[in-house]
Chain A
């Protein structure tokens, strides 16, 4: 069983996102794991994060402003893998930094660093050749996004060639702003479950333990990003403590759905 499969096999999983190179990332990642996060998403900073709201935009700019390079992100991932052999790590970001040296180069770096999966915001299934074949050949999961606009006719194309889990973007919009209505999430997850055996993690706009608990009851995982990234922005070098506290509350909320299930 892969690390991603194991993480979702225990019941609803907490998936946490932080931007690499923003604040003391190594320590922040340790805090996430220690507080109970089941899957780690590490954001690769990009100058033009078109799908992100203000919180993650700022994190991208802070990271690049601090001089973060792609090599630093790979180093953070490899060190994480050495410290946490069992926790799945996923890189999330935009097409250009991932493909600029060629998809094979990137897939090979991911494999060597022990990265389990990649989420690329702006490579839809129609352009899969840019990254998908290289990742699959390297044994790295390509994790795709499904959204409220992904209709039944389109869903098979989204699922084709994807693995690890399916990331359901619960609102048509950018990260960190609105929260979707619980009923619409339930409907959407039910629709997705009928089409795939992949675990379904729900994200965009999830901030509080209460929201996370409600979503965990109807899905395989809950993704929290902007709320954590905001803490990194507020607390800087002291962020690990604040990140730990919120993650602990979120993890407890998500994992409580395991017993009640």
Chain B
């Protein structure tokens, strides 16, 4: 029996009902339930089909540009004065973030299922751009739901999606941000289940989405593990990744879960601070049910959902993927949070020391690295996921730094 399928493995979640311990599951309206079951059957078939995997791998190599490099960062290592800092360079992917890995996998599934129309939700617009990209590549019509607030503050990504042929539908309900965009995408889906596939952007939602998004994103961790062994002959001591829904983090962590020497740290967005507005659902929330899964949510005592806040629109979501909720509960991964200001400092640190402009999402991971590296020995290795590049963020960073462009 393969090690990863042993009973005491951390890598055999979810169970056959889509539960990660008490988390995950399929909390959807009856109209969607048959489709969710169909998707699960189809995904299981695809996983076992070498042709599906071969097409996925081929597109990742020749269209996305994988494998992404594993980079030792000498100057930030020197500046922090402790552990060696390495980055998995997923910001070099086509479209500039890890999101495309998942979109390639899901659109291949959509086509296997004979679906002819794609919908997606987006916050900052990165998942919307990645979805619009694969839709253009495969010639499928695409509708992206985006909160009206986000449409206004992410104009360049809105234009990118339109250039790629997608229809961007602004959502005015609620606070008009990511959570509301997801509600609206679910409303569209329930009315168009016969021909429409919903490409969910993070490792959350009803089963099998958390599993399949994780599997598609696990290319990050599989590559990184092999690259690290090839370059250093050993595994890293600590993995660090930012978490909104948590797809880049689970993609990095999952292939290492059964390596007991490897610690992992997920970094949530503490916004203005955990005692103020933030988006750290593990640190400041508790378990509940939203958007098809049970997980940690920001909510009040009645179970009403509270809007998240982060400087990073990609982390600005009041929930988290259910596998992270489980990994926290069983203690296999650790979770921390960093504020908007700490992320902004880390953003500038990476620009200055390594000549890399990171997105605000991985800037949260870098901020955590900045705190931890000095406490570790020089022979130890931190591997952080650089999950997106910062071109999209230069306007909001300038704004926060008081610079007029």
Contacts and interface: CB of A to CB of B under 8 A. Distances in A.
B377 interface: no
Which of A70, A97, A144 is most buried by chain B, counting CB atoms within 10 A of its CB?
A: A97
22 contacts: A48-B180, A50-B186, A51-B29, A52-B187, A94-B289, A95-B27, A96-B305, A98-B303, A99-B289, A100-B303, A123-B289, A124-B29, A144-B30, A145-B29, A149-B31, A151-B34, A172-B31, A173-B190, A173-B191, A174-B187, A177-B191, A178-B191
A57 B173 contact: yes
Contact of B26 (A51, A70, A124, A149): A124
Contacts of B302: 69-70, 97, 100
A123 B294 CA distance: 11
Contacts of A149: 30-35, 193
Contacts of B264: none
A127 interface: yes
B31 A169 contact: yes
Interface class of chain B by DSSP: mixed
Interface in A31-56: 46-53
B96 to A, nearest CB: 30
A70 B302 CA distance: 6
Contact of B183 (A48, A64, A95, A98): A48
A47 B34 contact: no
Nearest to B186: A50
B190 A172 contact: yes
Nearest to A73: B302
B174 interface: yes
Interface string B1-40: 0000000000000000100000001111111111100000
B89 interface: no
B33 A126 contact: yes
B70 to A, nearest CB: 40
Contacts of A96: 288-290, 297, 299, 303-305
A209 B169 CA distance: 34
Contacts of A51: 29, 186-187, 190
Interface in B303-353: 303-305
B94 interface: no
A154 B34 contact: yes
A98 B303 CA distance: 8
B26 to A, nearest CB: 5
Interface residues of A, number: 44
B225 interface: no
Q: Can you list the 3 inter-chain pairs with the closest CB atoms, starting with the nearest?
A: A100-B303, A173-B191, A96-B303
Interface in A157-178: 158, 169, 171-174, 177-178
A256 interface: no
B291 interface: yes
Interface string A169-209: 10111100110000000000000000000000000000000
A154 B288 CA distance: 26
Contacts of A61: 173-174
Contacts of A239: none
Nearest to B191: A173
B31 A148 contact: yes
Interface string B340-378: 000000000000000000000000000000000000000
A26 interface: no
A99 B290 CA distance: 12
Given A124-B26, A124-B28, A158-B30, A48 B179 contact: yes
A97 B17 contact: no
Interface string B31-51: 111110000000000000000
A133 B303 CA distance: 20
A64 B30 contact: no
A48 B187 contact: no
Contacts of A49: 183
Contact of B305 (A48, A53, A150): A48
Nearest to B194: A172
A173 B301 CA distance: 30
A138 interface: no
A214 interface: no
Contact of B303 (A99, A127, A178): A99
A127 B350 CA distance: 45
A147 interface: yes
Contact of A127 (B26, B31, B32, B291): B26
A122 interface: yes
Contacts of A97: 302-304
B288 A100 contact: yes
Nearest to A95: B289
Interface in A62-103: 64, 69-70, 94-100
A122 B179 contact: no
Given A48-B305, A174-B190, A169 B27 contact: no
A130 B303 CA distance: 15
A124 B33 contact: yes
A121 interface: yes
Which of B30, B33, B190, B191 is most buried by chain A, counting CB atoms within 10 A of its CB?
A: B30
A198 B190 CA distance: 26
B27 A124 contact: yes
Given A95-B289, A122-B28, A124-B29, 9 more contacts: A46-B304, A52-B187, A97-B302, A99-B289, A148-B31, A149-B33, A150-B34, A169-B31, A172-B190
Contacts of A57: 173
A146 interface: yes
B305 A47 contact: yes
